[in-house]
Amino acid sequence: MPKHGKLDARDRTALLDRLADTEFDVLVIGGGITGAGAALDAASRGLRVALVEARDLASGTSSRSSKLIHGGLRYLEQFDFKLVWEALRERDLLVSKLAPHLVKPVSFLYPLHRKVLERPYVGAGLVLYDAMEGTKRPVPHHKHMTVRGALRLAPGLKPSGLAGALLYYDAQTDDARYTVTVARTAAAHGALIANRVSAQQLLRGDGGRVTGARVRDEETGRDLEISAKRVVLCAGVWTDLVHELGGIRAGYKVRMSKGVHIVVPYEAIRSDTGIISRTEKSVLFIIPWGQRWIVGTTDTDWTGDRAEPAPTGEDIDYILEHANRVLDRPLTRDDVIGVYAGLRPLVAADDSKPTTKLSREHVVDTPVPGLASIAGGKFTTYRLMARDVVDAAVADYDRWVPASVTDQLPLLGADGLAAAAAEADRLAEDYGVSREAVEHLLDRYGTLTEEVLELTREDPALARPLADGHPYLAAEVAYAVTHEGALHVEDVLVRRVRLFIETGAHGAEAVEPVTTIMGDLLGWDAARRAAETENYLELLEADTRALHQLTGVPAGARESAG
């Protein structure tokens, strides 16, 4: 069993050989948060597990969420009490025990505008929200605030019509980093994790039983068959397509709901807390994210490209309009330095029903022997989803399989976190980096921080910042290759570090050092290095061009603002 769950991109050929030569107990298709969670759940029960992902880990919705771990306050209005209760339990478990290095409490201010009715109504909802959480709580209780108190905490609120506020707490995480950490924890328990390996066909045996999958390595074009006693399908919005590959009629269909977020500079909104406000359809979050704010989201039907859902000008205007209902200094399209869209894989209901009314609860189906699939759910409840789909997959297994233990299983980097944090000054001194750099690494890698810093022993240049004004170190790029399975420049700048959404230039200044570090580790020749640089710059230019078309703001003006 690998000790540290290394996903070393340099070992790819050996990994593919093992996939082809092993019969697995469980093959997981899909490398988003649910698939990574299912791989961890199954591997930690003692099963032999493989996971394949057609693109990069977390490349779909699991890197394009609101980045919140939350109970879903708005679901109380829909009387979805079970979902809220489960989500709150999961949130508290992640914050306190399973992933305290990755999941941190975050406060939100709920502005009130109707003096008589609104405070008791919203306050009662938050009392219920707090009560569902229980008595052992890692986040504070909600608080009632006066107008003056609200404006002291969030000076950027519009004072006219403000009747006070309520302050409550949820949690947030870097969704892509969280997903990679879950996948690595699965690898630490013996799972084989392969990104850029796409399922081409489900294999069928006697009686139509699913016995594995024919897959293709998207890097080399190599085709291979993976044998498995059970296949678990966690493909999100691709689920229906994978069902079709096997000629399988499942008991549900996936309906895609597009969620768009905009990114604005931190100075654009004067507040020391996140803000939440009601909309006609849902709620709008203004979420702190380092030196940025993430504002969203939308909830609309999507029938287009699953890989790249496209935001529209209407999406941006919707977000701006609802944010400006509570902000004193209005946000404009000039403030938008980034925009991204993800797709929620909701369980299909009547086509006439708006996606906002569809339940976020998940559905598990076993349409044919040997196959279990799942859709729906929320990032916050991924662990329960993973447990349920693995339970379904092994319900008729030919030997006893232990129950899920993931509620007792801290993710890599969580164990001993308090001691690691206490050693920050020593680590900074030992490795010749600033204390701020160590604290940044602790928030991303927890007790694995010294593994990252150890790379600077062999190459002191890796201790330098990756981009001016941002905390990421060059060592994180090398670590992304040697420990986190990154194969392309895009994998690093979009998901392993988040410079793509955190800089006005989408990380352009880091392309050269990233290409150099990855190329040296992966043996890229000059042509491959040039192609990787060109591919990333094309991605950057396409995003910049789309943003310009959406907002009408020239790229040069935006970069200076960002």
Residues 391-425: pLDDT tens digits?
A: 999 999 989 999 999 999 999 999 999 999 999 99
Residues 368, 328: one domain? no
Q: What is the pLDDT of residue 549?
A: 86
Q: What is the pLDDT of residue 494?
A: 96
Residues 168, 285: one domain? yes
Residues 247, 371: one domain? yes
Q: What is the pLDDT of residue 77?
A: 62
Sign (positive/negative) of CA torsion 285, 287, 292, 294? negative
Task: Give the pLDDT mean for 266-274.
Answer: 97
Task: Give the pLDDT mean for 434-439.
Answer: 94
Residues 166, 268: one domain? yes
Residue 222: phi, psi to the nearest 5?
Answer: -70, 130
Q: What is the pLDDT of residue 136?
A: 63
- The yes-or-no verdict on residue 355 having pLDDT over 50 is no
Contacts of 335 (CB under 8 A, 6+ apart): 264, 265, 268, 561
Task: Give the pLDDT mean for 476-487.
Answer: 98
Residues 285, 344: one domain? yes
Higher pLDDT, 163 or 75: 163
Residues 275, 165: one domain? yes
- The yes-or-no verdict on residue 353 having pLDDT over 90 is no
Residues 161, 214: one domain? no
What average pLDDT is seen over the chain?
90
Share of the chain above pLDDT 70, in %: 92
Q: What is the pLDDT of residue 28?
A: 98
Q: Which domain holds residue 537?
A: 459-561
Residue 293: phi, psi to the nearest 5?
Answer: -115, 140
Q: Is 535 within the bounds of a domain?
A: yes
- The yes-or-no verdict on residue 2 having pLDDT over 50 is no
- The yes-or-no verdict on residue 116 having pLDDT over 90 is no
Instruction: Give 168-187 pLDDT, tens digit per residue.
Output: 999 999 999 999 999 999 99
- The yes-or-no verdict on residue 78 having pLDDT over 70 is no
Asked if 219 and 202 touch (Cβ cutoff 8 Å), the reply is: no
Q: Is 156 within the bounds of a domain?
A: yes
Residues 277, 382: one domain? no
> How many residues does this entry show for the chain?
562
Q: Is 70 within the bounds of a domain?
A: no
Q: What is the pLDDT of residue 358?
A: 45
- Range of 44-53, 120-129, 333-342 with top mean pLDDT: 44-53
Q: Is 115 within the bounds of a domain?
A: yes
* Domain of residue 379, CATH code: 3.50.50.60
Q: How many domains does the chain have?
A: 3
Task: Give the pLDDT mean for 296-309.
Answer: 91
Residues 266, 352: one domain? yes
Give exposure, 100-115, as e/b (b: 16+ Cβ within 10 Å): bbbbeebbbbbbbbee
Distance CA 137, CA 459 (A): 43
Task: Give the pLDDT mean for 51-62.
Answer: 97
* Residue 431 identity: Y
Q: Is 484 within the bounds of a domain?
A: yes
Contacts of 506 (CB under 8 A, 6+ apart): 338, 493, 499, 500, 540, 543, 544
Instruction: Give 211-230 pLDDT, tens digit per residue.
Output: 999 999 999 999 999 999 99
Task: Give the pLDDT mean for 253-268.
Answer: 94
- The yes-or-no verdict on residue 558 having pLDDT over 60 is no
Distance CA 297, CA 441 (A): 29
- Which H/E stretch holds residue 286? strand 283-289
Q: What is the pLDDT of residue 122?
A: 74
Sequence-ordered alpha helix ranges (H) in 44-174: 81-93, 118-133, 147-153
Instruction: Give 537-555 pLDDT, tens digit per residue.
Output: 999 998 888 888 888 766 5
Q: Is 235 within the bounds of a domain?
A: yes
From 380, 408, 436, give the residue that closes a domain. Answer: 408
Asked if 420 and 393 touch (Cβ cutoff 8 Å), the reply is: no
Residues 20, 41: one domain? yes
Q: Is 127 within the bounds of a domain?
A: yes
Q: Is 88 within the bounds of a domain?
A: no
**Which of the four pLDDT bands, split at 50, 70 and 90, describes residue 349?**
low
- The yes-or-no verdict on residue 132 having pLDDT over 80 is no
Q: What is the pLDDT of residue 142?
A: 84
Q: What is the pLDDT of residue 559?
A: 46
Distance CA 272, CA 157 (A): 11
Share of the chain above pLDDT 90, in %: 74
Residues 162, 284: one domain? yes
From 297, 327, 357, give the residue that closes a domain. Answer: 357
Place of tokens 């992966």: 522
Distance CA 295, CA 320 (A): 8
Task: Give the pLDDT mean for 19-44.
Answer: 98
The bridge status of strand 104-112 relative to strand 192-195 is unpaired
List the single range of 97-111, 298-312, 345-359, 405-419 with lowest mean pLDDT.
Answer: 345-359
From 367, 384, 408, give the residue that closes a domain. Answer: 408
Sequence-ordered alpha helix ranges (H) in 281-358: 313-324
Residues 142, 273: one domain? yes
Q: What is the pLDDT of residue 452?
A: 97
* Domain of residue 471, CATH code: 1.10.8.870
| Nearest of 525, 535, 454, 426 to residue 491 by alpha carbon | 535
First-to-last C-alpha distance (Å) of the chain: 45
* Domain of residue 274, CATH code: 3.30.9.10
Place of tokens 């690691």: 420
